[in-house]
Structure 1
Amino acid sequence: MTETELEDLVDAMTLEEQVSILSGEDFWSVPAVPRLGVGKLRVTDGPNGARGGGSLIGGVKSASFPVGIALGATWSVALVGEIGAALADEVKSKGAHMLLAPTVNIHRSVTNGRNFECYSEDPILTAELASAYVTGLQGQWIAATIKHFAGNESEIERTTISSEIDERSLREIYLVAFERAVKVAGTWGVMSSYNKLNGTYTSEHNWLLTTVLRNEWGYDGIVMSDWFGSHSTAETVNAGLDLEMPGRTRDRGDKLVAAVREGTVKAPTVRERALNMLRLMDRTGALTDTRPFAERADDRPEHRSLIRRAGAEAAVLLKNNNVLPLTGAGKIAVIGPNARIAQIMGGGSAQLNAHYRVSPWEGLVAALGEAQLTHAPGCTNHRFEPLLKGQFKVEYFANETLSGEPAHVGEQEDAQAFWIGEVAEGKVDPLQFSARLTGSYTAKESGEHRVGVHSAGFAKVYVDGRLVADAWTNWTKGRTFFEEGCDEVVGVVVLEAGRSYEITIEFATKDFATLGLAAFAVGIGFPLGDKAIAEAARVAAEAEIAIVFIGRNGEWDTEGSDLSGIVLPGRQNELVAAVAGANPRTIVVLQTGGPVEMPWLDDVAAVLQAWYPGQEAGNAIADVLTGAAEPGGRLPQTFPVKWTDNPTNSQDVEVYPGLDGKVRYEEGVFVGYRHYDKHGIAPLFPFGYGLSYTSFALSDLAVDDGQFEADGSVTVSVTLANTGERPGVCVVQLYVTDDIASLDRPHKELKAFAKASLKPGESRRLDLRLDARAFAFYSTSARHWLVEAGDFTLRVGTSSADLPLSAKVSRSTTLMLPV
């Protein structure tokens, strides 16, 4: 429709009809307006897939793509654009019109539980990749929803905490990706964050949503709340929040109609919000979409191939003492807690029910054959006891006391549930019910077992009628289920191998803080001890090469919970030390959502960071290990030697994790590698770092600064040559330094990059273009971007710590740029 036709349509709507499309009808849709033929808009969670309208557990199967930090590690604008286009297909399979992605918050700390979902610590790398993702997605008429706007760099008290960020840091670091997505990619959706920004909830932040987003950047899409992230009626509507999610409405509907009648919200403001919604519906086809809702589990071969390729391109080779790629290797010991378990994604709203999961063991078996592989787990790395699986009968009660006859009886296949929205086919109130699950567990080992339960609600676990784990009597809020759940409560019970035990789980809902959900998970584990580590060392000693698969999983790297540090959980460091002591040709494969400390680094032959690369994890990792694919990744986040080196390390807890409802971004613009440069801290591995299976050389730096004085633009050219014997990829990075600035600026800042694939002996001339913003800082006094007169140094290389080529450009006047 034309804009005029959309305006005619919104004017044909009654006030009540306009208001109706400003809040969700249910968890995943906006209501239709049948009288005027306006269809229903449907959304689905992302960003590493399209889950559809189901729960976080189970549901229709979906393709699982590499997580955000893995895409950040690719440094490939083209690849991320390709993934965006593929995700549009996935969204269409789920009957939706809008993907709640990408996530572009900055890696401020190394312990943010959601770092895995975000691209990078650097705003330019994040902005380039986010724009490609949005363009790829919307090129197929599926709306992007860039999130979380803004200042959501921690999961601690995230729904209430105030991120205290000065305007310069906001403009130069935290808003850059959003700005680029609006001005360059033309995103159709923005999601406000849960937190407050400088004391005001972002969902009702007029400066953020109207002054900056709409007036300065010219945004014409919609702003939606995060789920349950809006807290008012007039304040959110007047500030610029178009859509309250999810439904049913809490603060709109009749309340908003009344606010218009009372004059606290003007009718033209509601019309503007509704017009924004209609424009979005028109862009995505939802406006005229009358098809019956259906979700499909489309397992596309081309997406399988893309995910596998992207996983390899994300893998970062951190160390290699001539053991990789594996060529002509004899017996290989495959060791570690992540060897036979496919760790493909992080936790929280990004998780989905993948079509399949390929473990590293399975990937190596497919590549090398099982005959030359041996295995030992060595230790565990779970945060919660391993999920209890099996058939469970579920009795639902329309009360919170498990009393009377069940309102509904069902079945489920494991001891976990995530109830949100409709429960028990609508026969109980989803916020006020109880449930009893009964099933059985057959022990595989004799001895002491650990029974764990964590729940958003009250829960008890009985084994043969004996209460073993009680998360009911003294329930205390913890860091699970988006901060609505308790920490895991663990009980101990002695079991006999081969014997079957009756398991009973009782659950009841409780009042929620922010998110209206009910959930629990129950696990039973048999601890591994010294013998398991000794056995792993023995297996390693008998092999020519040992590969240790360690790291974390989606229980640790998850929405709703920050990490307590970056030491590997459990006894994994002990395991690596024991294996490396038994076999000097030890390769470590890490799967984490961010940095870890590596006390064993000097003792191992190679380290590969594989992140969470999606459903093809094992195949992608095997491709890199065997040399079928190049390790194409470079670090999107600095790896510090220890946690205390990172930018949020401070004696003041208000800086991190926060105090009295505030978290103060005291480091300002000195986040990521800027922090390490400023304080002279040598990282374990620098930003942008990664090795190849070949070698490269940079030469012949040339600078065209003919327009620098006039408009601030500069073009930098450099020759990249593959000087090795294999094809490979290299990421060439360009950093800018303001030699003498009127305020404290970072020592250097990434402003352009290019990724190139070259054959042996091939060379290529690369052009890196800089606009005036690449040289500017934001002046809070002038309220403009400023390029000051003076000298700027341009540095080119392959990481923030390896920049062998440099040149200078100069200008004699100050250039003022609009916001």
Structure 2
Amino acid sequence: MAGTRDTGATQADQAREAVVEAALGKLDTADKARLLGGRDMWSLHALPGIGLASLVMSDGPIGVRGTRWTADDPSIALPSPTALAAAWDQDLARRAGALLAQEARRKGVHVLLAPTVNLHRSPRGGRHFEAYSEDPYLTGVIGTGYVQGVQSGGVGTTVKHFVANDAETDRFTVDNKVGARALRELYLAPFEAIVANARPWGIMTAYNQVNGVTMTEHRYLVNEVLRGEWGFDGYNVSDWMAARSTTGAIEGGLDVAMPGPRTVYGDALAEAVRAGQVEESTLDEAVRRVLRLAARVGILEGAEPVVTELPAEIDGEALAREIARRAFVLVRNENEALPLPPTASVALIGAAARDARVLGGGSATVFPAHVVSPLDGLTAALGEDLLTYALGADPSDELAPADKGFELRAVCRDADGNVLGEGNLPSGQVQWIGDDLPEGVTHEALASVEVVGTFTPRVSGEHSFGTRGLGAFTLSVDGEVVFDGSEVMGPESDPFEAFFGSPVERAKVHLTKGETVEVSLLHPLDEVSAAPLPGVVFSFVHLEPQRDPDELIAEAVEAARGADAAVVVVATTERVESEGFDRKDLRLPGRQDDLVRAVAAANPRTVVVVNSGSPVELPWRDDVAAVLLSWFPGQEGGAALADVLLGAEEPGGRLPTTWGALADAPVTEVTPSDGELAYTEGVFIGYRAWDRDIEKRAGATPAYVFGHGLGYTDWTYESLVVEGTTVTVRVRNSGSRAGREVVQVYLAPAANDGNRPARWLAGFAGVEAGPGESAEVRIELPRRAFETWDEESDSWAHQSGSYEVQAGRSLTDRRLSETITV
């Protein structure tokens, strides 16, 4: 049967290739070059003469935005990639991908710009939440499942960002100096594994340089390694605005330069071919790959798409809830503080409990139809009689896009004041990129955008209103103009100030709880307000009245003291974790640490839920009963949290990256020096570095190690048998309830001169069992686990000798071992 399927696939591939070649033969130089440059922000040109429809791409990775970044077309919002990796389950990643393919088809999208498989080199990385892990093997396994799932639904993927795009500081220009061994063993490894095991239809090249060559022109890594050594046959698309040179990009293996219509390809590429600067055959190869992608997704006439029978429909809300609970990592649970008794009274505390942060900032942002906050989830599960809520401490005193209590829409007008169209806004943030405009509106006709609507305050007092972005603004509240002025770009401002810049307070207005007022922010468009990408980008921002933090903490303490248990939700903000900048520190913002300490002193059964996409410091962790990491848990996060806290479900996650204090972290530098960032640590990042030379680092140990995670039952490791490279581990559920265990296998070389890590993850498998039941898993050790990159021969070298195969629950909780010789 396997042979029959393989033959069928080969015949189908050959048939598609024949259609591709026939289509290619009908194109002239101008059409070929035009096809390789974006038509607009998200799509390529259609070529009706060969039966080619326009190929549409869309950002991921936790949802599918579509071509319009608007709440009028909501998206399922899954938990963050760090959460998906924390589940340590390739099949779950595959199901997540299949759901996103379903979403993509619904939105008319052919290619998803995901997954992100860069590594957690440093905990300071601002886009940490959008990548999976510090470990290349785990990243490759989860990324493989994700790609397989998306493409099983007939939608392409672009695995990104190829390669070493591991931080945000100066990401457009930084030259990352990475040794060949680290590049192969760490940073290229997830891409290689996904190409081998999932055959992705696309790769996205990064902004940065690697060893002196920008990635959109990196002939060696793209043409020789990716395509030559690995056999990748998909298309290579630039990160948006990354392509800088016509001849450099096409010779370097870049197929598509995005976005359009202004691009280094198109007319410029056609002229380079005519002038003899680029061979027609080079142009043909790029076009062939784009046509192959079009054939695979079913938009090239005469070519049968790869997927002709779609997967069964998936309930997006149910899967989002399942991923969230299976991703929650219980890192501390003293005296079985969790799960909470069903009749326990609970004091829920924290701003993030009411206004949950369910996804990270930047291009990963989507607009779900609804969000279940922790307060929503626990209210539904416990009822109002058992649940009390206190704000406790707000993580931010900075204005943020107008959201809770606001009902807003954007009114678009031409130069004469005529209304061209309107669009609903889920918040005061306007992000219209490319043709992502309300129906009936064009950039040519658009002269102003006015955010209008109503605001019903949740609290009485002095409300702050303001703006974020560049250009002129007129701000009105309750019929009164409270600001009329402009914001201009300074000589050293970041060109993405409109996206990631700081909000500016413009006025304070006293408002009364529950009394609705009208609000308006008028923004005329001019050259000053033009964003670096074609579009309209600005925000109407707001901040509720700020009460004395000590009073808020005191109220939280009183609520905690009167409850059987206290659940404190702490969080980062979009100004801490987002695309566009790296983190200055790992501390929780605001007075949240003080809040936790005060509540824990008042109630010994204090549970802290950490709502962040990446590691934060937890200086009070030994003073509380339980610590549960919820990551950015997606739109159903509050419901999943109630499931786990009350014991309806077990927290299923294990740490995909090490959590510790920044002062102890092995790699902290993310800021280039003279344009260069040296990866001097070589292959020692994450647990590989924490596990090495501890004494030389003054006994630095992490708060919680790689692979760590507790459940609601106990596990006994009964046996480990190694036959060749097959590891069989038998475990028994020695607790009182059913559960899931992640059996982790590490490989440790007996002889180590210090140039190799002490051990590394070589395999894992999940297993479920009821109380008293035993279960067995078989894990195949990959050949690559025994290899290192030899820089002298520029090839992989098999490292023979003795290895200890170690099986256990985390990097440091290793239960069984057996020595093998290879």
C-alpha separation between the residues in 1 aligned to 2:656 and 2:445? 41
C-alpha separation between the residues in 2 aligned to 1:661 and 1:567? 28
Q: Which moved more, 1:389-398 or 1:659-668?
A: 389-398
C-alpha separation between the residues in 1 aligned to 2:811 and 2:569? 28
C-alpha separation between the residues in 1 aligned to 2:706 and 2:137? 13
CA contact (8 A) 1:397 1:408 kept: yes
Structural mapping, 1:545-624, within 5 Å: 545-624=565-644
CA contact (8 A) 2:521 2:540 kept: no
Please name the residue that 2:821 is paired with: 810
C-alpha separation between the residues in 2 aligned to 1:560 and 1:469? 29
The one-letter code matched in structure 2 to 1:250 is T
Note the alpha carbon deviations across 1:494-539, whole angstroms, 9 max, x for none: 5253595765444545376853443122222211322111111111
Please name the residue that 1:271 is paired with: 284
- Inter-CA distance 411–191: structure 2 relative to 1 (3 Å threshold): closer
C-alpha separation between the residues in 1 aligned to 2:593 and 2:286? 54
Q: Secondary structure at the match of 1:113?
A: coil
Note the alpha carbon deviations across 1:606-656, whole angstroms, 9 max, x for none: 11111122221111111111111111000001001x21222323xxxxx42
The answer to whether residue 706 in structure 2 is matched with residue 691 in structure 1 is no
1:10 counterpart (19, 24, 34): 24
Per-residue deviation at 1:724?
A: 0.5
C-alpha separation between the residues in 2 aligned to 1:374 and 1:237? 61
Please name the residue that 1:518 is paired with: 536
Per-residue deviation at 1:789?
A: 3.3
The one-letter code matched in structure 1 to 2:790 is S
CA contact (8 A) 1:39 1:289 kept: no
CA contact (8 A) 1:477 1:484 kept: no
- Inter-CA distance 240–511: structure 2 relative to 1 (3 Å threshold): farther
Please name the residue that 1:293 is paired with: none
C-alpha separation between the residues in 2 aligned to 1:303 and 1:465? 44
- Inter-CA distance 309–648: structure 2 relative to 1 (3 Å threshold): same
C-alpha separation between the residues in 1 aligned to 2:101 and 2:319? 14
Please name the residue that 2:12 is paired with: none
Q: Secondary structure at the match of 1:237?
A: helix
Gaps of 5+ in 1: 291-298, 399-403, 650-654, 706-713, 812-819
- Inter-CA distance 515–648: structure 2 relative to 1 (3 Å threshold): farther
Note the alpha carbon deviations across 1:665-712, whole angstroms, 9 max, x for none: 12111111111112413100000000010000113222223xxxxxxx
The answer to whether residue 87 in structure 2 is matched with residue 74 in structure 1 is yes
1:783 counterpart (789, 794, 807): 794
The answer to whether residue 749 in structure 2 is matched with residue 731 in structure 1 is no
C-alpha separation between the residues in 2 aligned to 1:74 and 1:447? 44
Per-residue deviation at 1:445?
A: 4.9
Structural mapping, 1:464-475, within 5 Å: 472-473=487-488, 475=490
Structural mapping, 1:316-395, within 5 Å: 316-321=329-334, 322-382=336-396, 384-388=398-402, 389-391=406-408, 394=411
Note the alpha carbon deviations across 1:398-423, whole angstroms, 9 max, x for none: 5xxxxx75684746555321122135
The one-letter code matched in structure 2 to 1:245 is M
Note the alpha carbon deviations across 1:276-329, whole angstroms, 9 max, x for none: 111111111121399xxxxxxxx9772222221111110100111212111233
C-alpha separation between the residues in 2 aligned to 1:660 and 1:433? 41
Per-residue deviation at 1:476?
A: 7.1
Q: Secondary structure at the match of 1:370?
A: coil
Q: Which moved more, 1:722-731 or 1:280-289?
A: 280-289
Per-residue deviation at 1:37?
A: 1.3
Per-residue deviation at 1:810?
A: 2.3
Q: Which moved more, 1:100-109 or 1:481-490?
A: 481-490
C-alpha separation between the residues in 1 aligned to 2:44 and 2:596? 51
Q: Secondary structure at the match of 1:333?
A: strand
C-alpha separation between the residues in 2 aligned to 1:768 and 1:112? 32
C-alpha separation between the residues in 1 aligned to 2:143 and 2:473? 41
Note the alpha carbon deviations across 1:463-508, whole angstroms, 9 max, x for none: 6766659761575766795885532223552525359576544454
- Inter-CA distance 161–471: structure 2 relative to 1 (3 Å threshold): farther
Per-residue deviation at 1:428?
A: 5.9
Please name the residue that 2:553 is paired with: 533
Structural mapping, 1:69-468, within 5 Å: 69-288=82-301, 302-321=315-334, 322-382=336-396, 384-388=398-402, 389-391=406-408, 394=411, 396=413, 405=417, 408=420, 410=422, 412-413=424-425, 414-422=427-435, 423=437, 429=443, 434-435=448-449, 437=451, 445=459, 447-455=461-469, 459=473, 461=475
The one-letter code matched in structure 2 to 1:519 is V
1:744 counterpart (746, 751, 755): 755
Per-residue deviation at 1:115?
A: 1.1
- Inter-CA distance 313–500: structure 2 relative to 1 (3 Å threshold): closer
CA contact (8 A) 1:315 1:631 kept: yes
1:19 counterpart (10, 33, 51): 33
C-alpha separation between the residues in 1 aligned to 2:467 and 2:209? 32
The answer to whether residue 46 in structure 2 is matched with residue 32 in structure 1 is yes
TM-score (norm 2): 0.90
Per-residue deviation at 1:772?
A: 2.3
Q: Which moved more, 1:656-665 or 1:26-35?
A: 656-665
C-alpha separation between the residues in 1 aligned to 2:493 and 2:706? 33
Q: Secondary structure at the match of 1:148?
A: strand
The one-letter code matched in structure 1 to 2:503 is E
The one-letter code matched in structure 1 to 2:378 is L
C-alpha separation between the residues in 1 aligned to 2:731 and 2:495? 48
Per-residue deviation at 1:731?
A: 1.0
- Inter-CA distance 485–720: structure 2 relative to 1 (3 Å threshold): closer
Please name the residue that 2:503 is paired with: 488
Please name the residue that 2:653 is paired with: 633
Per-residue deviation at 1:197?
A: 1.5
Q: Which moved more, 1:202-211 or 1:761-770?
A: 761-770
CA contact (8 A) 1:377 1:536 kept: yes
CA contact (8 A) 2:71 2:424 kept: no
Note the alpha carbon deviations across 1:375-418, whole angstroms, 9 max, x for none: 111121247424333446646465xxxxx756847465553211
The one-letter code matched in structure 1 to 2:429 is Q
RMSD of equivalent CA atoms:
2.7
- Inter-CA distance 234–386: structure 2 relative to 1 (3 Å threshold): closer
C-alpha separation between the residues in 2 aligned to 1:369 and 1:289? 58
CA contact (8 A) 2:469 2:538 kept: yes
TM-score (norm 1): 0.90
Note the alpha carbon deviations across 1:123-170, whole angstroms, 9 max, x for none: 000001111111122122211111110111111221222222111111
Please name the residue that 2:10 is paired with: none
Per-residue deviation at 1:252?
A: 1.2
C-alpha separation between the residues in 2 aligned to 1:115 and 1:339? 23
Q: Secondary structure at the match of 1:622?
A: helix
